[in-house]
Structure 1
């Protein structure tokens, strides 16, 4: 075992750990290290690499870079930085003196990690016909080397290490009272990158939105307006709030990403997913490459495996609802007969058990959905994420909210709906915070306490400590799912239970602190992702907002107060009126989205100026922008 602190090789900046499989041969390790260190002109990445540990259980490599290599890599990765005139320009190494920041501060630690990941991802096969040391594993010229290593199961993990000094500064920022709701997004962006900074920015913005909802909902609850027409007002407020909230977030997101230079960032091509298995062995360099065989195999797996799985899970959900309704009815009938304290307490048992099982089904389904989507073997990362998101959202919506529609529109029992909502909110918030944050934190502390207490130097012990942290997903799926479900509780049926927003607000206040603890003490550091927005989740929240409009219009039409206004209308005409009102609100939502620009006018002007300068520079054959 070799301690990196004793090596003379310089590792002054961002560090990345590669965990190779124990069966990896020495020849393979030496070849990989030589390709990582080789000059760019020879097809290498020009990075620093050394073996930190080789044992029967694992092979660990540590990768770093000099500042000069990182700056040259920033130019290759087309990172944009603020020029001396105040505009964003693609970074140019030879022109680095004319950018606003000093050379040593030009790149944040997140950008350094992004550059290293970019250089490693673009390390490609040259003349090797197979992986050295693995004659049975073929390689094809032009294919990314790390994709080959992932596919051959030789590369087990790749993760960046925490910068302890900068992480402690971030923790201090989180402790300040001004970040009780709002988040230190700039510091988060410098350390974690844009995607995580946007997540925390959205979490803080959502919490502020819930704070304003809480004021109105408390008024409804205290004044008992819910029983005298308040449901109609609350449903109308749900419609307005959900639409205005999302449009406001779009503008806030645009302001942040413009400040970071990623607002107009688009990948030149979608990246190939690390887990993609190229079983046909076709070369990436062939322009005529035909993926029809992959499409057929994937379609077959979706039809024969994924679709039956989703339908089966939904049937389990509906069966659970039937069992719960039967158990709840029996408990209430027994309470009417006995009229005792025990029988009264038993009436709460079915709903609590139902809520717990719903949460467990969410967890189990998410794991199985990830496994099935992996089996579908999507080539592109975006396609993989979209198919996974579609599976998850369909199930989560029905698993968490289908019974609400049954109570509201079939039984028309708003009291039972309110009781169920309060129980679900309580169980959901307790289980999510405990199983997602508290329990992993306690387990991690026990694990870390068994290690040596001082692991500050970058060596095998420090790497072991970092490796013991919980791995985190790059797409932040679980984090956004939690906010998505909470958004549904707040916007869909909160008119029946006005305190839903208040409980969600209090939960978010606690959740912000627990999330900061989870990202800084429990999870491994993620590779930064240059993000112009929150991606597909923006559309998911917009669809949920449209569903909220339909649902709340339905609740309004069922309210006695609204029906009384049109008492002379027959039921059919009243139904058509309700549909017309619902379509009218959907139209108003569409108009609001068109009328409110996603990008603030001052930012749009600056973007137009930058693009004009870019076109002029390209015309004169100069550096773009």
Structure 2
């Protein structure tokens, strides 16, 4: 690990994590924190190895002296892996929770275990040990009387909330990063992404995102192929969209069910499928009145759930509704502009009026992107103000706020054109304009701009002294997680599943966008961002539910489009009511089929279910044997005492 970095601890383990304190942190605070990090576990410490970063050469005045490199001995890392319940491949090929006593029965465990854990796993273990470092008898952070502490409080989270600890991030491995970059994006290839290598370096959460991006791209290929074939037909004959809409109904349901099985296979292979979740600690920004947690018995801030609910329903909800109204108001302005341009074109069609027809759509697409960005900041502020105790609760509320607004902001005009105006020509034009304009903006922000920024700065993967490398990574941007990446895929999935039947080339553009996205995201992860901590995820989380909700809406939308087609209307020449009833009946039947299919197709493949059941059975048998041996021993001890 990072053998070229120039500095190794006496234990043979290279620096893994960087902890950066504020430059003006008081010396007694630094000494206290380092002592707690180095203390043995039985004394309440983390038992880690910590060294201060020493600059080589001339030290500039602006350089922060409070940068520390953290690592641990292999024995400490292995015991941390056991505490976290990391799953690894056992000698019989099954995935089992690692235990030190059975360490030599695990594949790839040799000698003292040197190299058994990946660098990402080691960094995750150190992060966990630091975050679970708790106050003992301290009433406040030494040197900062306003930073209150109490027994059981996470020290690191308190330092983060008080901005004493300003950064904590894992170091890049320059050699491994070079190898990953070459296999991932530096060469044009037709093979799939190196997901195992991505997982090994960045962790399961990021690998699952790239796995889903790749899977979504492959799943779009049939739609893209049909879209290209449709180019051979007359675009003005919109009756042909009925077949595409029917295909959409099946496609959007099947691919999500198959993805759940695919992600389960990946998660089992990576050892996160059956892994127990670590007990969640309060978020660094969480605050409240000091009290006792009824679950842990520790003293920590408590915040009434009723007060949080009042903030959600009396402030956040009205604000979201106000933003939705604003989005609809902007949409109506767009339609007024569209009507004015159409009137101008009808008076005297020219080359310039033909060009002018696309201007309102382009302006509206840009406004949509701007509104989405502004709303995102407002949603983050509101969700932070709601004061959620857990990070998972915070993320769920944020995702819900952002998804509702983005869905309405991006798709409201399409629904209005399709089902109120019932103008399929304008719908196709509007969909093409929104999709292409948004992709141009996103590609500039995610591909062109990052490449330009990287060309201006020094290459991160160049070999350099450890001190220079650490300071370079300290100044790099922090990766904010996969939220925005999944949101972009969610919107693209919506464009394809909802209305691509009237514009079949939408799937073609999304495929091209996703291919570029894979390379641009890989480039950014390897060159522009600090290395993120590993996230041992077993699936894509709440985003799976979001995509499934979109697929339900897609069934309703495509059934309505089919009901609007002249072929179907011909069967009901005298009764619109009968047509509507039949459309609703078919739609409900397809929804029932979708939910039946979700129930019928297991989320986890059968062979993996068998392996998990066998492992559970063996664990229960081992527990029974342990109890059987323990009872006679207790009886013998009692007899000896008599």
Common topology (TM > 0.5): yes
In the TM superposition, 1:306-385 aligns within 5 A as 306-385=316-395
Of the three residues 529, 532, 557, the one matched with 2:535 is 529
CA distance in structure 2 between the partners assigned to 1:514 and 1:346 by the alignment:
33
Residue 555 of structure 1: aligned partner? 561
Q: Report how many residues are paired.
A: 613
Question: Does the CA-based 8 Å contact 1:11-1:65 persist in structure 2?
Answer: no
- Pairwise CA distance, 1:126: 0.9
Measured at CA, do residues 607 and 177 of structure 1 come closer, stay the same or move farther in structure 2, by a change above 3 Å?
Answer: farther
Of the three residues 505, 515, 518, the one matched with 2:511 is 505
Which range is displaced more, 88-97 or 234-243? 88-97
Measured at CA, do residues 447 and 372 of structure 1 come closer, stay the same or move farther in structure 2, by a change above 3 Å?
Answer: farther
Of the three residues 576, 586, 599, the one matched with 2:591 is 586
Measured at CA, do residues 288 and 114 of structure 1 come closer, stay the same or move farther in structure 2, by a change above 3 Å?
Answer: closer
Measured at CA, do residues 6 and 210 of structure 1 come closer, stay the same or move farther in structure 2, by a change above 3 Å?
Answer: closer
CA distance in structure 1 between the partners assigned to 2:298 and 2:123 by the alignment:
34
Measured at CA, do residues 454 and 244 of structure 1 come closer, stay the same or move farther in structure 2, by a change above 3 Å?
Answer: closer
Residue 280 of structure 1: aligned partner? 289
2:77 counterpart of 1:67: no
In the TM superposition, 1:35-54 aligns within 5 A as 35-52=36-53
Question: Does the CA-based 8 Å contact 1:81-1:261 persist in structure 2?
Answer: yes
CA distance in structure 2 between the partners assigned to 1:226 and 1:498 by the alignment:
13
2:620 counterpart of 1:615: yes
- Pairwise CA distance, 1:376: 1.4
Residue 143 of structure 2: aligned partner? 133
Measured at CA, do residues 284 and 146 of structure 1 come closer, stay the same or move farther in structure 2, by a change above 3 Å?
Answer: farther
For residue 422 of structure 1, give the secondary structure of its aligned residue in structure 2: helix
CA distance in structure 2 between the partners assigned to 1:176 and 1:8 by the alignment:
33
Of the three residues 206, 209, 213, the one matched with 2:219 is 209
- Pairwise CA distance, 1:22: 2.8
- Structure 1 gaps, min length 5: none
- Structure 2 gaps, min length 5: 56-60, 628-642
In the TM superposition, 1:75-224 aligns within 5 A as 75-101=82-108, 102=110, 103-175=113-185, 180=190, 182-224=192-234
- Pairwise CA distance, 1:200: 0.5
- Pairwise CA distance, 1:383: 0.5
CA RMSD of aligned residues (A): 2.3
Residue 638 of structure 2: aligned partner? none
Q: How does the TM-score come out when normalised to structure 1?
A: 0.93
Measured at CA, do residues 173 and 400 of structure 1 come closer, stay the same or move farther in structure 2, by a change above 3 Å?
Answer: same
For residue 279 of structure 2, give the secondary structure of its aligned residue in structure 1: coil
In the TM superposition, 1:467-482 aligns within 5 A as 467-474=474-481, 476-482=482-488
CA distance in structure 1 between the partners assigned to 2:395 and 2:477 by the alignment:
21
- Pairwise CA distance, 1:67: 2.1
Per-residue CA deviation, residues 499-549 of structure 1 (Å, 9 max, x unaligned), is 110111111111111111111111221111111111111111111100100
Q: How does the TM-score come out when normalised to structure 2?
A: 0.91
- Pairwise CA distance, 1:292: 7.2
Per-residue CA deviation, residues 326-366 of structure 1 (Å, 9 max, x unaligned), is 11111121122233322332222111111111111112211
Which range is displaced more, 595-604 or 180-189? 180-189
CA distance in structure 1 between the partners assigned to 2:604 and 2:512 by the alignment:
31
CA distance in structure 2 between the partners assigned to 1:89 and 1:14 by the alignment:
28
CA distance in structure 1 between the partners assigned to 2:355 and 2:567 by the alignment:
34
Question: Does the CA-based 8 Å contact 1:210-1:505 persist in structure 2?
Answer: yes
CA distance in structure 2 between the partners assigned to 1:187 and 1:378 by the alignment:
35
CA distance in structure 1 between the partners assigned to 2:494 and 2:511 by the alignment:
14
Question: Does the CA-based 8 Å contact 1:550-1:582 persist in structure 2?
Answer: yes
Residue 464 of structure 2: aligned partner? 456
Question: Does the CA-based 8 Å contact 1:141-1:283 persist in structure 2?
Answer: no
Question: Does the CA-based 8 Å contact 2:9-2:15 persist in structure 1?
Answer: no
Residue 603 of structure 2: aligned partner? 598
For residue 129 of structure 2, give the secondary structure of its aligned residue in structure 1: helix
Question: Does the CA-based 8 Å contact 2:15-2:69 persist in structure 1?
Answer: no
Measured at CA, do residues 181 and 430 of structure 1 come closer, stay the same or move farther in structure 2, by a change above 3 Å?
Answer: farther
Measured at CA, do residues 567 and 255 of structure 1 come closer, stay the same or move farther in structure 2, by a change above 3 Å?
Answer: same
CA distance in structure 1 between the partners assigned to 2:374 and 2:269 by the alignment:
39
CA distance in structure 1 between the partners assigned to 2:358 and 2:449 by the alignment:
26
Question: Does the CA-based 8 Å contact 2:38-2:46 persist in structure 1?
Answer: yes
Residue 546 of structure 1: aligned partner? 552
CA distance in structure 2 between the partners assigned to 1:228 and 1:489 by the alignment:
18
Per-residue CA deviation, residues 201-234 of structure 1 (Å, 9 max, x unaligned), is 0000001011121112222232348826321111
CA distance in structure 2 between the partners assigned to 1:511 and 1:314 by the alignment:
29
For residue 137 of structure 1, give the secondary structure of its aligned residue in structure 2: strand
Question: Does the CA-based 8 Å contact 1:14-1:113 persist in structure 2?
Answer: no
CA distance in structure 2 between the partners assigned to 1:292 and 1:464 by the alignment:
38
- Pairwise CA distance, 1:9: 5.5
Which range is displaced more, 611-620 or 437-446? 437-446
Per-residue CA deviation, residues 101-124 of structure 1 (Å, 9 max, x unaligned), is 132231111111111111111111
In the TM superposition, 1:2-13 aligns within 5 A as 12-13=13-14
Of the three residues 489, 493, 502, the one matched with 1:483 is 489
For residue 31 of structure 1, give the secondary structure of its aligned residue in structure 2: helix
